[in-house]
């Protein structure tokens, strides 16, 4: 099947990147076919976006539940890792975080306790977004809030989180967010080798998630998700309570998004509440819609294509990007209901025709 073929192509590409990055970005960085630290950094960022898109595709493409608030989980992961890096720098190297100076604090608020420990931060990155996703999902799915209602409320939730984070007194750096990270796991942030390792970790995590989710959606559980998407009432009358599969995949999706955020923030070196703005969350949905819902490779491709385009364009025409993005969305939504996968068939036929008439 062509879809399986595409899945293999994406998996191999991710694996190749994961293997090539430490080599081409390390000893061979300055050779002709090497990967510059700048490029490695961009590859790493895009990989986290691909992971994020996959997280959303899992819940939207497969279970049919659209979230316009995945920026919330992404930002949670980002804030948690940022707290770890700032606290570790403060405790181990005595670097006073900017937000302490700005707020005139002599010490960090109590909820920053233990954040200097990486295992603690990692546990929270996995648990806290999962818990939030579970709580919200449980309330919504149990009372059968779905479709547009669910999407709008996830967006409102993210919007409120943004407003909260914009405040200085919540203890997360307010408007300025958090920046000035020094080290992560002993590696100095901002150095070439760290950039390459972070990028490698991102592609590796994305590959792992890709394979894991691939197995998941191919399993009976995946079929149950599709059944939830197609006809929830029918499933209920067959004796399954759809709340549980939905809740499971929704929580998993939230955790994956948080992991993506935790990988993203050390690479860009800053986090602020703008990551929680509705635009960011909707852009994630745009990646998935463009790449094609319901196929993991589509989500990855969509995220890679759009964010690469964005990196390239914002370099020389930042004002142009919103126009391109909005028109792209309209074209995809109106013309290509299944995203770029709709183009696959015409492309294949065109290629076949070309081969036939050399």
Partner 1 sequence: MNLESHGWQAIQVNGLRVTFGDFVAIPNLSFVASYGEIHAVIGPNGAGKTTLLDVVTGKTRPRAGTVLLDGRIDLCRLTEPQIALAGVGRKFQKPSVFEALSVHENLELALRLRPRSILSELRGWADPRRAARVAEVLAEIGLADRADDPAGVLAHGQKQWLEIGMLLMQRPKLLMLDEPVAGMTDAETAHTADLVRRLRAPDRAILAIEHDMAFVEEIADRVTVLHEGAPIFEGQMTDARADARVRDVYLGRH
Partner 2 sequence: MTLLRLLVLLAVFAASPAVADRAALSAGLCAPSLGDQIAALGALAEAGATGGAEDARWAQAIVAAVEGRNLRCATDGVFIGEGEAALDAATLAPRPAPAKAAGPPVNNRLRAAAASAAAVLKLFTDFNPAVRAAAVGALERRREALNLTIVDAALANEPDAGVAAALEALRARLLLADAEPANRIAAIEAVAANATLRNRTLIAEALAGETDVAVQAAGAAALAQVDRSLALGRVLATLYSGLSYASVLLLAALGLAIIFGLMGVINLAQGEFIMIGAYAAWFVQNAIRTVAPGLLDWYLLAALPVSFLAAALVGLVMEALVLRRLYDRPLMTLLATWAVSLLLINLVRVTIGTQNLEFHQPFYVTGGVPILGDFIVTLNRLFAIVVAVAAFFGVVALLRFTTFGMNVRAVAQNRAMAGAAGIDARRTDRLAIALGSGLAGLAGVALAPLYNVNPNMGAGFIVDSFMVVVLGGVGSLAGAVVASFGIGQINVVMEPIYGAVAAKVVVLLLVIAFIQRRPEGLFAPKGRR
Site residues, partner 2 (CB under 8 A): 60, 66, 68, 136, 139-140, 142-145, 147-149, 151-153, 155-157, 159-160, 163-164, 166-167, 278-279, 282, 285-286, 289, 319, 322-323, 325-327, 329-330, 333-334, 337
Minimum CB distance to partner 1 smaller for 220 or for 346: 220
Interacting residue ranges for partner 1, rule: CB under 8 A: 219-221, 223-224, 226-227, 229-231, 233-241, 244-245, 294
Minimum CB distance to partner 1 smaller for 33 or for 237: 237
How many whole angstroms separate alpha carbon 335 and alpha carbon 117?
50
Q: Closest distance between partner 1 and the C-beta of residue 85, in Å?
A: 38
Q: What is the DSSP letter of 179?
A: E
Task: Considering only CA atoms, give the Rg of the chain.
Answer: 21
- Torsion angle, CA of 308/327/51/35, rounded to 10 degrees? 0
Q: Closest distance between partner 1 and the C-beta of residue 66, in Å?
A: 16
- Binding-site partner at residue 73 among partner 1, partner 2, none, CB < 5 to 8 Å by type: none
- Binding-site partner at residue 179 among partner 1, partner 2, none, CB < 5 to 8 Å by type: none
Q: Which long-range contacts (CB under 8 A, 24 or more apart) does 328-334 make?
A: 328/286, 328/290, 329/286, 329/289, 329/290, 332/286, 332/289, 332/290, 333/289
How many whole angstroms separate alpha carbon 343 and alpha carbon 358?
22
Q: Which residues pair with 271 in a beta bridge?
A: 178
- Binding-site partner at residue 229 among partner 1, partner 2, none, CB < 5 to 8 Å by type: partner 1
| 271: phi then psi, degrees, rounded to nearest 5 | -140, 135
Place of tokens 């300025």: 176
Q: Give yes or no for a contact between 55 and 257, defined as CB atoms under 8 angstroms apart.
A: yes
Terminal Cα distance for the chain, rounded: 26
Minimum CB distance to partner 1 smaller for 176 or for 219: 219
Q: Closest distance between partner 2 and the C-beta of residue 141, in Å?
A: 11
Q: Which long-range contacts (CB under 8 A, 24 or more apart) does 109-117 make?
A: 109/171, 111/171, 112/83, 112/87, 112/171, 115/83, 115/84, 115/86, 115/87, 115/88, 116/84, 116/87, 116/88, 116/90, 116/91, 116/92, 117/84
Minimum CB distance to partner 2 smaller for 100 or for 152: 152
Q: Closest distance between partner 1 and the C-beta of residue 345, in Å?
A: 16
How many whole angstroms separate alpha carbon 12 and alpha carbon 26?
21
- Binding-site partner at residue 231 among partner 2, partner 1, none, CB < 5 to 8 Å by type: partner 1
Q: Closest distance between partner 1 and the C-beta of residue 210, in Å?
A: 21
Minimum CB distance to partner 2 smaller for 123 or for 160: 160
Q: Closest distance between partner 1 and the C-beta of residue 297, in Å?
A: 17
Tell me, rounded to whole angstroms, the distance of Cα 131 from its chain centroid: 18
Q: Give yes or no for a contact between 266 and 65, defined as CB atoms under 8 angstroms apart.
A: no
- Binding-site partner at residue 241 among partner 1, partner 2, none, CB < 5 to 8 Å by type: partner 1
Minimum CB distance to partner 2 smaller for 117 or for 338: 338
- Binding-site partner at residue 348 among partner 2, partner 1, none, CB < 5 to 8 Å by type: none
- Binding-site partner at residue 312 among partner 1, partner 2, none, CB < 5 to 8 Å by type: none
- Binding-site partner at residue 191 among partner 1, partner 2, none, CB < 5 to 8 Å by type: none
Q: Closest distance between partner 1 and the C-beta of residue 91, in Å?
A: 42
- In the numeric block, which tokens belong to residue 316? 């020389």
Minimum CB distance to partner 1 smaller for 109 or for 147: 147
Q: Give yes or no for a contact between 69 and 276, defined as CB atoms under 8 angstroms apart.
A: no
The three-state secondary structure class of 95 is: coil
- Binding-site partner at residue 72 among partner 2, partner 1, none, CB < 5 to 8 Å by type: none
Q: Closest distance between partner 1 and the C-beta of residue 140, in Å?
A: 17
Minimum CB distance to partner 1 smaller for 233 or for 354: 233
Q: Closest distance between partner 1 and the C-beta of residue 244, in Å?
A: 5
């Amino acid at each position: 099947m062509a879809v399986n073929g595409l899945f293999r192509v994406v998996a191999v590409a991710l694996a190749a990147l994961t293997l090539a990055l430490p080599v081409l970005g390390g000893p061979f960085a300055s050779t002709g076919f090497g990967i510059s630290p700048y490029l490695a950094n961009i590859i790493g960022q895009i990989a986290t976006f691909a992971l994020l898109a996959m997280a959303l595709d899992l819940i939207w493409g497969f279970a049919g539940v659209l979230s316009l608030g995945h920026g919330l989980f992404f930002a949670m992961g980002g804030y948690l890792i940022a707290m770890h890096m700032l606290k570790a720098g403060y405790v181990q190297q005595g670097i006073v975080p900017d937000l302490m100076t700005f707020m005139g604090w002599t010490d960090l608020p109590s909820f920053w306790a233990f954040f200097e420990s990486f295992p603690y931060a990692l546990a929270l990155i996995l648990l806290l977004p999962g818990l939030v996703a579970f709580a919200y999902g449980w309330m919504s799915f149990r009372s059968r809030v779905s479709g547009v209602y669910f999407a709008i409320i996830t967006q409102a939730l993210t919007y409120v989180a943004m407003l909260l984070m914009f405040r200085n007194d919540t203890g997360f750096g307010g408007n300025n967010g958090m920046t000035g990270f020094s080290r992560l796991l002993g590696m100095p942030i901002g150095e070439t080798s760290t950039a390459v390792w972070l990028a490698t970790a991102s592609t590796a995590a994305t590959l792992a998630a890709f394979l894991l989710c691939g197995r998941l959606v191919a399993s009976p559980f995946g079929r149950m998700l599709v059944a939830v998407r197609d006809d929830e009432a029918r499933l209920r009358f067959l004796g399954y309570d759809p709340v549980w599969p939905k809740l499971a995949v929704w929580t998993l999706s939230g955790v994956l998004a948080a992991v993506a955020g935790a990988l993203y923030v050390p690479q860009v070196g800053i986090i602020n509440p703008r990551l929680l703005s509705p635009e960011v969350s909707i852009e994630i949905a745009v990646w998935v819609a463009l790449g094609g819902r319901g196929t993991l490779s589509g989500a990855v491709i969509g995220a890679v294509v759009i964010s690469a385009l964005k990196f390239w364009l914002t370099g020389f025409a930042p004002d142009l990007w919103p126009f391109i993005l909005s028109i792209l969305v309209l074209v995809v939504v109106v013309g290509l209901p299944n995203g770029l996968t709709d183009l696959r068939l015409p492309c294949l036929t065109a290629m076949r025709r070309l081969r036939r008439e050399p």
